[in-house]
Amino acid sequence: MNHFLAREDFPHLLRALTQAGYDCVGPQIRQGAIVFDHLHSVTQLPQGWQDEQQPAHYRLEQTDSPYWFDWSNGASAIKPYTFAPQENLWTVQRDQSGRLRFQATLPKPQKTAIIGVRACDLAALALQDQHFLHGKHVDPYYQARRESLLLIGVNCTHAAATCFCVSTGDGPEIRQPYDLLLSEIAAGFLLSSGSTAGATLAAQLPLTPASNAQQHTAQQRMHAATQQQRHLPAKPPLFAHLDHPHWQTVGARCLACGNCTSVCPTCFCHQAVEIPDLDGDTSRHERRWDSCFQPGHSYIHGWQIRSNATDYYRQWLTHKLAGWHEQFGRSGCTGCGRCISWCPAGIDLTAEVEQLG
């Protein structure tokens, strides 16, 4: 059953999280964009701010609205909290007898509560779980971070012009597992728990039963976010159109900057780098985010398989929208629209897929 948490009582949630040992993270404005960062007070939340997103366009506007979450997803997904952009995987040291000693450097992450996670990003997290946790090999680095998270979702009430989560089936209503779920209305939040940890926290809050009117308002506000301008077909037949001339047209516009893969909440490609110490006896093995738009990404045994923007983009889109169906049983896109807003060339995968038939 839904409960109601008055807006002025939201600090109780932050206190309960802190007392339970969580570092709170929530949306805040940094350099003109909404990103996740440490949250100590509700005054840090982007009250009244709304976003305008278009291909190659992201702007925030301050309004006098009382809402804290009345914007669609910001620049950063929650991906860095599970799949670190850069981390040490192991060190190796030569001992006095000349033998190499390997030592794994598993992270010991602080318990972290992320407040304000959206439906598209929870869907992306489920996909990353599939890749890092539910395959043949479990990634212990991802696992350690993932297990340290408490997820507080917020249902979207506003879709940017770049959003298309309705067509991918991932939003705007949260359908993936969460610990606590919030729906914002003017006076506060409808709240429900989705885990034992969430229920324990909810029990410490001054909640009242949500009235029918409050539930109706929350549903209406969420319905507004279902009005979306963009659409992505469930399984575009990209492998059947690998020679389509439109790949060249996109390739001529693409700068191969890799912004699309950095902001994408599902992209998980990485490179491994060996960093030897100057003493000659020690070395660190580091994992860093990589992108299929980087020349070195397809380098195998002296041969670079893909060497231009047309090939990079074709690889990215065919893998994301077609190859993932074979690997993971669904598309690798959750309709967040970030790759459209943050592409400096305004390349829009929904429009490109339409052209590619």
161 binds ligand SF4 (CB under 6 A): no
The answer to whether 124 and 266 are in contact (CB under 8 A) is yes
- DSSP line for 6-35: EGGGHHHHHHHHHHTTPEEEEEEEETTEEE
Number of residues that bind ligand SF4 (CB under 6 A): 26
160 binds ligand SF4 (CB under 6 A): no
126 binds ligand SF4 (CB under 6 A): no
Q: In the complex, what is the shortest distance from the CB of residue 30 to ligand SF4, in angstroms, rounded to a whole number?
A: 19
347 binds ligand SF4 (CB under 6 A): yes
263 binds ligand SF4 (CB under 6 A): yes
Find the shortest distance in angstroms from Cβ 309 to ligand SF4. 6
Helix (H) or strand (E) holding 262: helix 259-263
Binding of residue 289 to ligand SF4 (CB under 6 A):
no
CB 262, min distance to ligand SF4, A: 8
Q: Minimum Å distance from CB 105 to ligand SF4? A: 29
* Beta bridge mates, 150: 113
Residue 337 binds to ligand SF4 (criterion: CB under 6 A): yes
Quote the DSSP letter at residue 173. Answer: S
Half-sphere exposure of residue 177: CA atoms within 13 angstroms, side-chain side: 10
Q: Decide if 269 contacts 297 (C-beta within 8 A).
A: yes
Closest to ligand SF4 by CB, 79 vs 145, is 79
Q: CB of 21: closest distance to ligand SF4 in angstroms?
A: 32
Kindly state whether residue 74 participates in binding ligand SF4, applying the rule CB under 6 A.
no
Please state whether beta strands 3-6 and 188-193 pair in parallel, antiparallel, or not at all (unpaired).
antiparallel
Residue in the structure block whose two tokens are 């929350």: 218
When asked if residue 351 is in the footprint of ligand SF4 (CB under 6 A), the reply is no
State yes or no: residue 159 binds ligand SF4 (CB under 6 A). Answer: no
Q: Decide: 39 and 220 in contact? Cβ < 8 Å.
A: no
Q: Is 156 in the site for ligand SF4 (CB under 6 A)?
A: no
How distant, in Å, are the alpha carbons of 93, 281, 285 from that of 97? 11, 12, 22
What distance in Å separates the CA atoms of residue 229 and residue 163, rounded to the nearest whole number?
8
Length of the chain: 357
Restricting to residues 222-261, which ones interact with ligand SF4 according to CB under 6 A?
254-260
| Chain residues in the site for ligand SF4 (CB under 6 A) | 254-260, 263-266, 293, 313, 320, 333-339, 343-345, 347, 349
